[in-house]
Chain A
Amino acid sequence: MISWPWKKPKLYRHGDLLLRQVDEIPESATPLSTSIIAHGENGNTHKLHGSHQVYETPDKQILFQAKQDVSLKHQQHHTLKISKGNYVVVHEREYNPFKNIQEEVID
């Protein structure tokens, strides 16, 4: 599939998660039988509702395919409507200036 430069990928933010639209799911990704795309600290989850399929790559990257418009729910955030497409899940990060490292934020 051709990625046109003027065609911006859709971006959604849901708490500490960013959903970035991608053209396609990598072939190395394996499907998962779950609707949860991220776990939080206190047992909270980011959960998809609708027709979808979640994938995981060998480097633990989470992707999902929304076969139609789906909704993403979390106990502490509003429900987010996501249009049809392929998405990669990006976690928020933060910087530790004392250890000079980057860490993943867990909601």
Chain B
Amino acid sequence: MFSHFSVFPVLFLVMTSVANSAEARSADEPCSYLHKSWKINPSTGICGPTITNKSSSAPPVQNYAVNNPTNTFQQINCGEGTILKNNSCVIDFRHEVDAQGQTGGINDAFLPVTNLFDNMPDFPKVDPVLIGFFAAIFITSIFIGRQFSRKKRIARRNRREWGSHRPDELGILRVTPEEYRRMQAFERSFATVGKSDPEYFLHVTSGAKLVDASRRGNELYSIDTIIRGRSLKLLKYCDPSTGQPYVSFVPEHINKADHGMAWKFHVTDREYGGMGDEA
């Protein structure tokens, strides 16, 4: 491990010494043998042709230079669109200044010294009170829309029309349209799922609650969510021969599973309790 750490400083020293020796050139040698008249610019250290100040011949640049005597313009390798000013590269705005000077839109005395990020646009400032006002309108509109949705309107109408307690006429079951649709869906589910898979129907589909269970394997369930104010009773029983479960509705007054089974076979609880063979 120590050898690895010691190798890198040694390599660094060797490389820097080689680089310095590569840059070494005597004072009487030209900086470029191809263009022997070129000189090294002392401010940049770049070998190039001798620069002559042509600002007097270019009118826009001349104006800028006259008004800013401290600035010197040198077309040195600062990159495209930039110039060297105060030993730092800045964006060259001379052509823009020229265009604005032709239209007469700006005073040449206030030519900007612009850096790269000076022209970034500012984000618009929005009043927080205005934001709160629009947010309040948005939330209120959502609330009002929910209150007056179709579902809510139907529910209000149902409550208005069916809310008052009306005693059911004999043999007539009065339900709201919503309850009627719920009953239809429940009947379809009972006819399909309830007959084929009673366990799934009881515990998943119908949401029935267990009321009573007997030693004979009968279970009584209650469903309160189908018809308002009524509790539907479902009896689950098994075939003694096959063990297959079945579900069947029983009257609502039944609260015991064996009582429900006795009701199904027209016998009393006592008779059902003393029943002999089952198959």
Contacts and interface: CB of A to CB of B under 8 A. Distances in A.
Interface of A: 8-15, 18, 20, 72, 76-81, 90, 92-98, 100, 105
B186 to A, nearest CB: 9
A79 B264 contact: no
B271 A90 contact: no
A95 B277 contact: no
Interface string B198-242: 000000000000000000000000000001001010000001111
A8 B265 contact: no
A106 B83 CA distance: 102
Contacts of A11: 267, 271-272, 274-276
Contacts of A18: 265-267
Contacts of A81: 277
Contact of B249 (A8, A10, A77, A94): A94
Nearest to A72: B279
Contacts of B242: 76-77
A92 B248 CA distance: 11
B171 interface: yes
- Interface of B, helix, strand, loop or mixed by DSSP: loop
27 contacts: A11-B272, A12-B275, A12-B278, A12-B279, A13-B275, A13-B277, A14-B278, A14-B279, A15-B239, A15-B279, A76-B242, A77-B241, A77-B242, A78-B241, A81-B277, A94-B248, A94-B249, A94-B264, A95-B249, A95-B250, A95-B251, A96-B249, A97-B227, A97-B230, A97-B252, A98-B187, A105-B248
Contact of A80 (B173, B274, B275, B279): B279
B61 interface: no
B183 interface: yes
Interface residues of B, number: 29
B66 to A, nearest CB: 102
B181 to A, nearest CB: 13
A80 B240 CA distance: 11
Given A96-B249, A97-B227, 6 more contacts: A11-B274, A76-B239, A77-B240, A95-B249, A97-B232, A98-B183
Most chain B C-beta atoms within 10 Å of own C-beta, residue among A12, A72, A95: A95
A92 B266 CA distance: 8
A97 B260 CA distance: 14
Nearest to A99: B173
A81 to B, nearest CB: 7
B267 A20 contact: yes
B174 to A, nearest CB: 12
A80 B277 contact: yes
A8 B240 contact: no
Q: 3 smallest A-B Cβ distances: which pairs?
A: A78-B279, A18-B265, A77-B241
Nearest to B244: A76
A100 B239 CA distance: 26
Contacts of A97: 227, 230, 232, 249, 252
A72 B252 CA distance: 34
A10 B230 contact: no
B278 A92 contact: no
Contacts of A100: 171, 173
B170 to A, nearest CB: 9
Most chain A C-beta atoms within 10 Å of own C-beta, residue among B171, B232, B239, B279: B279
